[in-house]
Structure 1
């Protein structure tokens, strides 16, 4: 999970847990912005969720894209 490692080394953070009525969200942010917010899928393991988060962080680093499944569930 090299992208998450890089994020944390650069002072960013990740979090996992419930958010309002959503049972489990994985989020990544740097010191200024949210980079990704993913909703755990039915039957998805935490390892798989973290791998998706790592890919989403990598996508942000490559293209500046923000993946937001919490506020934009169709993305």
Structure 2
């Protein structure tokens, strides 16, 4: 098992309001997916709101916090975050 970030206190309160609201009607998935690595996905039942790749050295709490922020961006600004799929080459058809 990897060491935890010493700045994070076990059992500290964590507010993930947007995730909490989303799972009332949608879902999140967090886990290892080959070949992508560790990912976190938020889906509202119709659209993928955010698809994040865990960054090198990023804790689970940091990943979930980024997911919560990405859900808020999708909800408030219509910006959907996708760190998993490669952008399409504009020269391809």
Q: What TM-score comes out, normalization by structure 2 length?
A: 0.73
Large movers: runs of 4+ above 4 Å = none
Q: Which has the higher Rg, Structure 1 or Structure 2?
A: 2
**What root-mean-square deviation, in Å, do the aligned CA atoms of Structure 1 and Structure 2 show?**
1.2
1:18 lines up with 2:2 in the alignment: no
Corresponding residue of 1:67: 81
Corresponding residue of 1:28: 42
Q: Mind listing any 5+ residue stretches in structure 2 that lack a counterpart?
A: 1-15, 88-93
Total equivalences in the alignment: 72
Q: Mind listing any 5+ residue stretches in structure 1 that lack a counterpart?
A: none
Range 14-23 or range 54-63, more displaced: 14-23
